[in-house]
Structure 1
Amino acid sequence: MNNNHTIHHYFFISALATIFTLGCLWGAINLLLIGFEESFHGIDYSWVLAHGHAMVFGFVGLFIMGFSYRALPHFMNTTLWKPLLALLTLPLMIFGILLQAFAHVIAPCPPYLFLGVSAGILQIVAVVIFALVIAQTMRNATVISNSGKLSVAALGWFLIAAILNPVIFWLFESASTQEEFLFNVSSFNIPYRDIQTLGIAVMMILGVSMHILPHAYGFREPSKRWIKFLLWGVNSAILLGIISFTSGMTTGVHWWHAVNGITYIILLIAAIGTPIQFRLFSKVQSDRNDRSLKFIRAAYIWFIVAMLLLAFGPYYMFGIYLPITGGDNPFSHAYFGAYRHALTVGFILMMIVAVSSKIIPGFAGLDIRKTNSLWIVFILLNLGNTWRITSQILTDFYPEAFKFIGVSGFIELTALGLWGYDLIRNIQAGKRIQKK
């Protein structure tokens, strides 16, 4: 079979391997240890960094690469430019992610810094090649919609994240004192994660949604004005949030943090307005209603929940958290982590499950209506996410909640295991069809 048509298989399978090793499995174990210690500081922060990087670059990143190589040329009525060069990005990413995880674990023992920076350079090379292949593919396209620019923006954020990755590794792992470490993490971790989650993942999902939802399900196409708002407004809001937060933390001028309110409002408008633009919850023709639709609808609900949590954050910190706990630091790791989980698992991961469950059977030549409905996956994923977010926020006021928080990770891991099994089975079924 043409390598163009199966290239996504290698990336998807590698992403699954990541999630069941350095990704969700390690995250679930970390969460269990946090529950035992009854503190979010109960594990080595290097473990958190390694797990987080594997989830973003290893799981989300590899899925974005695989999807882009296979689906974007299909959407634009063209063929992938230099598929063998595109395939080269996979071993570069895998080796870079594994090497960086090892460097995180052994830090501060030599040669952690050399390994970490070298791993970052490998991933920069991979992302540059990825961006080049997609850019050249788009140059040869006969159809490029306005919504395709959202995906281009995501690629731009991917490049920025890859370039900053070795710098972030150096800042976080090479701090000479505890004070320097806390300053670096508090100043740069949130902006960097915003680049990864909002810039890369959310922008790519919005771009893909603009094509899949109207064409596959018959939903209304968003207006050109709305697409321009998502492209320029949301990207500007992300950039503004990064600049204002970093400036506020590094200069000590706290009015910079007030500017973040603009970012929160724009992101909340985008989260609420996008499903309205699609009329996402309107009735779908029976022949178009499939197993992925429930995940898509749930994902956009979680997107709204995540942005509500983000927008409500300042009031929670100053109006609820500080008065009740009597603390002096207006930042709740539990609350902000709950927002992050609503975004990453509720929206980003849920959409990855939705889109992969849609395109894998379709590209394989299978009738999606005859595949597994994935209702158990859907229920467990939403249950685990709700459990995690609720119990995590409760730990601010009830330490007993730590006893329950660790269970959520294994609920989600079970859901992803069932989804991964279905994904592999459909890939294998497609190969059997092609042989015939």
Structure 2
Amino acid sequence: MEINRNTIIKDLVKKYPQTMAVFRKYNLVVAGGVRGPNEPLAFFAKAHEVVYDEIVEELKAAIEKGVDEDTEKVALVEDKVYAKFFKTAILMALTIGVAVGAIMLTYMGSKHNFHSAVHSLVQTHGHAQLFGWVGLCIIGFAYYIVPRVKNVELKYRELTTVCFGLMVSGTVLRILVQPYANKFISFLLPISGLLEFLAVAIFAFIIFSTVLASKEKREAYDKFIMAGVLWFCSVV
């Protein structure tokens, strides 16, 4: 297998497991493609300020050395912790988001009156779009991209499932209760808000912990990540 700028790291490690030691030396295990998507070696070398020619020479030397008893065995499994967030976000967008929105617009059009739609349904639709669609996408994307750009394992990974459960539960509860906001079940509205707040608080804790655990130098975008997470918390 020839190593060139377009060589996929995952393919290289799969064929030559002894090259894992080189990637670990340059701290490219997480963001460098071993556990990431199928992206080329040159891209990651440039992104993480590794001299391409140097790492290629070390990879070739490792291949020539061959496999020995100290060779690390690698599970080439892409980290898909983000997947359930994206899938659920799309589901909410296409149902209570787009579908209900289209029905309300059609109804308002037939009545020639923008205010003819039931306001509680408008609020339900808006909340589903903001938290069910946008919110879940933000969380899922952050869990995917932050470990890659900071070149570190996602911290407190087990809490991502708790975060997902709280966010979905809070959003679904709000969707079900909002149309009856003036009824006896209105006490469930603050409970839904609390569930969503806890979800975002856990999300913020995970992202902050991941960024702070990184050994990469501080970049200009770090403050945007932090500010964005804090703003998300304040919105909830």
Please say whether Structure 1 and Structure 2 have the same fold, judged by a TM-score greater than 0.5.
yes
Describe the superposition over 1:56-83 as per-residue Cα deviations: whole angstroms up to 9, x where unpaired. Answer: 1110110111111111110111110011
Q: Which residue of 2 aligns with 1:33?
A: 107
Q: 1:117 aligns with which of 190, 202, 214?
A: 190
Q: 2:138 aligns with which of 61, 64, 82?
A: 64
Q: Which moved more, 1:32-41 or 1:143-152?
A: 143-152
Amino acid at match of 2:205: L
Structure 2 Cα separation of the partners of residues 2 and 90 of structure 1: 25
Cα deviation for residue 152 of structure 1 reads 1.6
The runs of at least 4 consecutive aligned structure 1 residues that moved more than 6 Å come to 1-4
How many corresponding residue pairs? 161
Q: 2:201 aligns with which of 117, 122, 128?
A: 128
Q: Which residue of 1 aligns with 2:221?
A: 147
Q: 1:102 aligns with which of 169, 173, 176?
A: 176
> Do the aligned residues in 2 keep the contact of 1:4 with 1:80 (CA within 8 Å)?
no
Q: 1:76 aligns with which of 136, 150, 162?
A: 150
Task: List gaps (5 residues or longer) in structure 1.
Answer: 163-436
Describe the superposition over 1:168-201 as per-residue Cα deviations: whole angstroms up to 9, x where unpaired. Answer: xxxxxxxxxxxxxxxxxxxxxxxxxxxxxxxxxx
Cα deviation for residue 4 of structure 1 reads 7.6
Structure 1 Cα separation of the partners of residues 78 and 198 of structure 2: 21
Q: 1:45 aligns with which of 119, 140, 150?
A: 119
TM superposition score normalised by structure 1: 0.36
Structure 2 Cα separation of the partners of residues 18 and 132 of structure 1: 25
Overall identity of the aligned pairs, in %: 32
> Do the aligned residues in 2 keep the contact of 1:73 with 1:137 (CA within 8 Å)?
yes
Structure 1 Cα separation of the partners of residues 173 and 82 of structure 2: 23
Q: Looking at CA atoms only, which structure, 1 or 2, has the larger radius of gyration?
A: 2
Structure 1 Cα separation of the partners of residues 179 and 76 of structure 2: 40
Structure 2 Cα separation of the partners of residues 4 and 106 of structure 1: 43
Cα deviation for residue 40 of structure 1 reads 1.4
Structure 2 Cα separation of the partners of residues 107 and 3 of structure 1: 45
Aligned 1:311-350 pairs, distance under 5 A: none
Cα deviation for residue 130 of structure 1 reads 0.2
Q: 1:21 aligns with which of 60, 80, 95?
A: 95
For 2:99, what is the secondary structure of its paired residue?
helix
Describe the superposition over 1:379-415 as per-residue Cα deviations: whole angstroms up to 9, x where unpaired. Answer: xxxxxxxxxxxxxxxxxxxxxxxxxxxxxxxxxxxxx
Cα deviation for residue 2 of structure 1 reads 8.1
For 1:19, what is the secondary structure of its paired residue?
helix
Cα deviation for residue 148 of structure 1 reads 2.5
> Do the aligned residues in 2 keep the contact of 1:11 with 1:63 (CA within 8 Å)?
yes
